[in-house]
């Protein structure tokens, strides 16, 4: 059941039997020469649509923008300030909590969102504790951080999965949008990675270290068929995880 495609009466009826909601969250940022700019939002949105087919759950509209300052040297990227993203997450949760929702399950598609999301959770818990109100139950599921996903990526790509514009995320986005598959020759075949102890900081630094936007990946290997395999694994893992979360007090 999709919140955006429901009426208020349907939401009221849903709340009579469940107070859980899934909120996909992503980013609008470059994903290398053959990855879609919407990849990080497309993947959690697709996974959420699969969970919806498996279990009784309401899916909120995807938060399509994220914290992506380090990708700003590439055209098309949009970044949300950490403080804005934290506030947006708090406002979404508090609005839904006002209607009776208690359990908020975020499916995230972007590593750069992890600090703002977890900070938003801290802020919500902090505010509830001090106001003596019910504390919302919040959970963060980073879909790609899953043993089954990692194992399949290793089996299929032998170390060329990478860390940004990964083969698995590009494949999953292609499965969601086969009409947008890009046929591009990538050079080098496998993108550079950081050296031991090295980091990246701002957008210029990122582009200097990773000239075409990829980190350590070889996403020309991405296929719609592989994307379907990642999709099913993620749906299975996160459906169970959501149900366990919903059962917690």
DSSP code per residue over 190-245:
S---PPTT----SHHHHHHHSTTS-BS--GGG--HHHHHHHHHHHHHHHHHHHHHH
Do residues 71 and 213 lie in contact, with contact meaning Cβ atoms separated by under 8 Å? yes
- DSSP per residue over 91-132, as a string? HHHHHHHHTT--EEEEEE--GGGHHHHHHHHHHHHHHHHHHT
| Closest separation in Å from C-beta 169 to Ni ion | 5
Which of these ranges, 35-43, 91-99, 202-210, 235-243, lies near Ni ion under the rule CB under 5 A?
35-43
**Minimum separation from the CB atom of position 112 to Ni ion (A):** 9
Q: What is the footprint of Ni ion within residues 162-181 (CB under 5 A)?
A: 169
How far from the centroid of its chain's Cα atoms is residue 199's Cα?
22
In the complex, least distance from residue 35 CB atom to Ni ion, rounded to whole angstroms: 7
Nearest residue to Ni ion, using CB?
A: 40
- Does 40 sit near Ni ion (CB under 5 A)? yes
Residue (82 or 111) nearer to Ni ion, CB: 111
Size of the site for Ni ion (CB under 5 A): 3
Site string for Ni ion, 179-208 (x = CB under 5 A): ------------------------------
The footprint of Ni ion (CB under 5 A) covers: 39-40, 169
């Amino acid at each position: 059941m999709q919140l955006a495609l429901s009426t208020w009466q349907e939401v009221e009826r849903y709340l009579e039997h469940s107070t859980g909601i899934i909120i996909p969250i992503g980013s609008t940022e470059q994903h290398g020469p053959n990855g879609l700019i919407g990849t990080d939002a497309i993947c959690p949105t697709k996974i959420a649509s699969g969970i919806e087919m498996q279990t009784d759950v309401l899916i909120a509209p995807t938060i399509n923008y994220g914290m992506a300052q380090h990708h700003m040297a590439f055209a098309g990227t949009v970044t949300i300030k950490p403080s804005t993203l934290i506030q947006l997450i708090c406002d979404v949760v508090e609005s839904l909590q006002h209607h009776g929702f208690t359990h908020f399950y975020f499916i995230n598609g972007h590593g750069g969102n992890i600090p703002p999301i977890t900070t938003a959770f801290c802020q919500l818990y902090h505010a509830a504790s001090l106001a003596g109100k019910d504390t919302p139950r919040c959970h963060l599921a980073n879909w790609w951080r899953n043993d089954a996903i990692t194992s399949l990526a290793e089996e299929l790509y032998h170390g060329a999965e990478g860390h940004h514009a990964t083969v698995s995320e590009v494949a999953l986005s292609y499965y969601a949008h086969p009409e947008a598959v890009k046929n591009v020759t990538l050079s080098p075949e496998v993108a550079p990675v950081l050296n031991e102890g090295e980091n990246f900081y701002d957008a210029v630094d990122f582009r200097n270290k990773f000239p075409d936007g990829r980190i350590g990946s070889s996403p020309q290997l991405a296929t719609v068929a592989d994307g379907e395999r990642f999709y099913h694994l993620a749906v299975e893992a996160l459906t169970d995880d959501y149900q366990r979360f919903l059962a917690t007090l």
